[in-house]
Every structure is written in C-alpha cells, then in structure tokens.
C-alpha cells in the first residue's frame, strides 16, 4: 500500500512537469502509467481510485492517435477495459477490449494478441454470453505460445477462464468439461511459474466439485465432496493468511461450507474452524456482504453442534477435533489457530488460550492431555514471549480452580510437559510454571 501510494505521488509530480501542449506523447505515457498505479493500488477507496484511473486513461487515449500510435492507444484501451470490468460494467469493457484488439491487430506478438482475445472473453462472460465467451477463450488458448513461460501462463489463464464460462451454465455436462479445463490449466504451467494461478484454479475446481456434489453427478456426491475439500485445502495452502487475505477468506468460507454439508460431528467441527477463519479474514467495513454470509454460516454450524452437544463451546469442539485428527493434521490445525491468535491484542490472545486450556482440563485424560501436549509442542517452536503466553494461560486457569481442580491440571500439565518438551526448553518451561505456582505431582 505504501509503495503504491509513493508511486502515485511520484507519477502525479511527473505528469505535472511534463507539458501536455509541447510533449503530448510523453504526457500520455505518464498518464497511462499513473492510471495503472491508481488501478493496482489496494485500499478502502477502490471505486474512487478506479475512477481516477479511468480519467487518466481517457486523457492518454485522447492524446495517442490510433493512426500514429496504434499500439500505445490499444494498450490504454485495454487498461480502461479492465477498469470497467472491475467497476461492473462488462458492456463498456467489451467495447474497449474489442477496439483494442482491432487496432493492435497484427502489430503485437502472438501472446499479446491472445491476451486481448482473452480479455474479450472475460467481458462476454460478464455479460452472460457464455457460448461466445467459450469461443473467445478457445481462440486465445490456440493463440498463446506455450513454448515460453509467458505463453504458458496466458494459456493456463485462458483454460481457467473457459472453465469458468462452462461452469456458469450449471449443467452437469458443462461442469464436467469445466473440471477438465481446470485440470489442463494446472498441467499447462508449473507451480513455480504461476503459484497464484494454481491457487485460483484449485479454488474454481472446488466450486465446480461442490456444484457436482449438489447434483449428485457421477461418480456420486461423496466423491465430489471429497474432491472439493481436497482442492479447497490446496488453494488455502497457496492463499496463506494474512498475505492473501481476501482469497484466503473466500476459500475458507467455501471449504467451511463443504465440510458442514457432510453433516457429521467431525465435519461440522472442521467447518466451524474454516468459517471462523473466513469471518476473521473478511473486513466487515469493506466486505460487509461476504462477512455477514460467513458469520451467518458460522452461527448455523455452531447451532447444529449445540443441539448435538449441549453445553459445549467452540474450544471444546476444537479439543475434540484435535483428538479425532491424526497427529500431523492435529499439529497443523493447532498451529494455524496459534498463528492467528498471536497476532491479536494480548487480552484477546490470552482469553483464547485460557479457553482452550480450560476445555482441555474439562476433557481430562486422552483428548485433554493430547490438546495440552499439542499446545506445548507448538509453543516451544515459537519465540520465548509466545511460549510464556501459553504457559501463563496454564497458570491463569490453574489459579481459577479449587484444590481438586489444581491437582487435576497439575497432573495433566506435568504429563504434557514430559511428552512435548525436551532438553533446555524443558528447564525453561518447568521453571516458568513453578514460579507461577505449579506443583509437580
């Protein structure tokens, strides 16, 4: 964000010092770059920045005569078309993309020509002209030169887009063809050449799998639900939080709903975790609609669990889920919880840690001890401050118990320390606990 703002300020200054009357070509090029900077800089005022970008592109296109500067004019029109798409104006985008392709014609490389055709397909998709969009994407797929990395990325993008166009009809046959397009898109470009592309395609494949699950398409709902869960998880491995907050939120929401749809206790608990991730990742100020949808889905899943397990709360369900999951997965699930908790303000972080310790103590031997072991084994990989926060949560819960309760938690914690901590770290852990009142049984 800061870099984008600095770029905008620099380009604004450059535009002001580039005389339009005597240097129109240079003025237009700076206006084009400034428009791109406005369009590509994230922030809460997205529509305002997009409108500013359009003003820059309008200025640039008015100064770049198609007869004398066809390539530059076409590229400005393409940029303006992308902004129109972002503003939800696909018809205007279609006109701009079509004009750009006609002006550039044979003057550009095969990859750039293919990208222009791909853009026309995206605009057609936005207007609902699905068959025309599929035709354009197919044309782009053939035009991209797969011999180069840029061509492979472009071809994979066009395959992904064709899949989206096919899936939009909702027909089982089209959904199956969309899945085939997504598979080909993943095979077309290597992960290290286009990691985010892989994330997007995995997510789209999950959406198609959910639709096929709902239609009980061959080979059956269970197969497609399993597929959706797998590929949404692969998307989340790429769209990590908080670097890719919005994509992470969307994938978490869809994965959460898919788990909830399975209807078992374990799947509901998994669904709650992912829906909680979506709620925390969406910004309710700028993404109020998706946030509300995720929040409502979270409440519905928790309500279903409350009917099945009266009196249990979210931490109790997390302890039960950690017990049901395999060791490696349980460790991964808890590490993700801790990663989110440790960026919160200390009071919120400490409250969540205490709640989990309390749930583990209530669960007792077995699942409770297992949760405490996971907490300690995860904490000792973190900085000392984080380790201390986990240990302080143990001590805080201990102080809130009566003598019998303290005896129980002392036994559980002692066993957990023995299983989770080795070497010099065990000395630090035990010294910290003893200083806080812990008594080794």
What does the pLDDT look like over 279-294, one tens digit per residue?
A: 999 989 888 999 999 9
**Can you list the pairs that 286-291 forms with residues at least 24 positions away whose Cβ atoms lie under 8 Å?**
286/44, 286/46, 287/246, 287/249, 290/249, 290/250, 290/253
As a whole number, mean pLDDT of residues 391-412 equals 86
As a whole number, mean pLDDT of residues 384-397 equals 88
Q: Does the pLDDT at position 439 exceed 90?
A: no
* pTM (two decimals): 0.88
Q: Does the pLDDT at position 158 exceed 50?
A: yes
Q: Does the pLDDT at position 1 exceed 50?
A: no
Contact 398, 410 (CB under 8 A): yes
Contact 368, 362 (CB under 8 A): yes
Distances (CA, A) of 48 to 5, 12, 31, 54: 14, 16, 17, 10
Q: Does the pLDDT at position 440 exceed 80?
A: no
* pLDDT bucket at 242, cuts 50 / 70 / 90: confident
Instruction: Considering only residues 302 and 375, tell me which one the structure prediction assigns the higher pLDDT.
Output: 302
Kindly give, in sequence order, each residue whose CB lies less than 8 Å from that of residue 272, ignoring residues fewer than 6 positions away.
256, 260, 298, 301, 302, 305, 314, 317
DSSP state of 402: -
**Model confidence pLDDT, tens digit, residues 37-96:** 999 987 767 889 999 999 999 999 999 999 999 999 999 999 999 999 999 999 999 999
How confident is the prediction for the chain on average, in pLDDT? Answer: 92
Q: Residue 72, Cβ neighbours under 10 Å: how many?
A: 20
Tokens of 189: 């470009």
Count the helices and strands in the chain (H runs, E runs). Answer: 21, 0
Q: Where are the domains of the chain?
A: 240-310, 323-441
DSSP state of 139: H
Percent of the chain with pLDDT over 70: 99
């Amino acid at each position: 964000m800061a870099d984008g703002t600095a770029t905008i300020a620099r380009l604004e200054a450059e535009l002001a010092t580039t005389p339009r009357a005597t240097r129109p070509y240079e003025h237009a090029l700076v206006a084009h770059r400034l428009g791109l900077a406005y369009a590509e800089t994230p922030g809460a005022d997205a529509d305002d920045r997009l409108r500013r970008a359009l003003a820059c592109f309008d200025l640039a296109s008015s100064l770049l005569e198609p007869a004398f500067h066809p390539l530059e004019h076409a590229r400005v029109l393409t940029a303006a078309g992308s902004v129109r798409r972002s503003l939800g104006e696909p018809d205007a985008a279609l006109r701009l993309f079509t004009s750009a392709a006609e002006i550039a014609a044979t003057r550009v490389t095969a990859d750039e020509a293919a990208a222009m055709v791909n853009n026309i397909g995206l605009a057609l998709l936005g207007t609902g002209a699905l068959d025309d969009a599929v035709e354009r994407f197919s044309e782009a797929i053939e035009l991209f030169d797969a011999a180069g990395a840029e061509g492979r990325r472009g071809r994979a993008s066009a395959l992904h887009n064709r899949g989206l166009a096919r899936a939009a009809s909702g027909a089982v046959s089209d959904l199956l063809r969309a899945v085939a397009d997504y598979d080909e898109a993943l095979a077309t470009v290597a992960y290290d050449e286009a990691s985010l592309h892989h994330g997007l395609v995995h997510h789209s494949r999950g959406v198609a799998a959910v639709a096929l699950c709902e239609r009980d398409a061959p080979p059956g709902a269970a197969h497609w639900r399993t597929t959706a869960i797998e590929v949404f998880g692969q998307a989340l491995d790429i769209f990590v939080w908080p670097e890719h907050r919005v994509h992470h939120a969307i994938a978490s929401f869809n994965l959460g709903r898919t788990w909830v749809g399975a209807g078992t206790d374990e799947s509901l608990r998994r669904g709650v975790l992912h829906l909680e991730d979506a709620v925390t990742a969406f910004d309710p100020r700028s993404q109020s609609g998706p946030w509300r949808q995720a929040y409502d889905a979270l409440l519905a899943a928790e309500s279903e669990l409350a009917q099945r397990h009266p009196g249990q709360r979210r931490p109790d369900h997390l302890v039960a889920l950690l017990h049901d999951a395999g060791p490696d997965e349980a460790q991964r699930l808890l590490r993700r919880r801790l990663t989110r908790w440790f960026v919160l303000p200390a009071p919120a972080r400490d409250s969540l840690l205490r709640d989990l310790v309390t749930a583990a103590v209530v669960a007792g031997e077995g699942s409770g001890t297992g949760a405490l072991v996971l907490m300690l084994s995860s904490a000792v990989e973190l900085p000392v401050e984080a380790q201390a926060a986990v240990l302080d949560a143990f001590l805080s819960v201990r102080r809130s118990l009566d003598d019998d309760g303290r005896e129980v938690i002392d036994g559980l914690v002692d066993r957990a320390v023995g299983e989770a901590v080795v070497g010099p770290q065990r000395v630090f852990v035990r010294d910290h606990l003893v200083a806080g009142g812990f008594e080794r049984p």
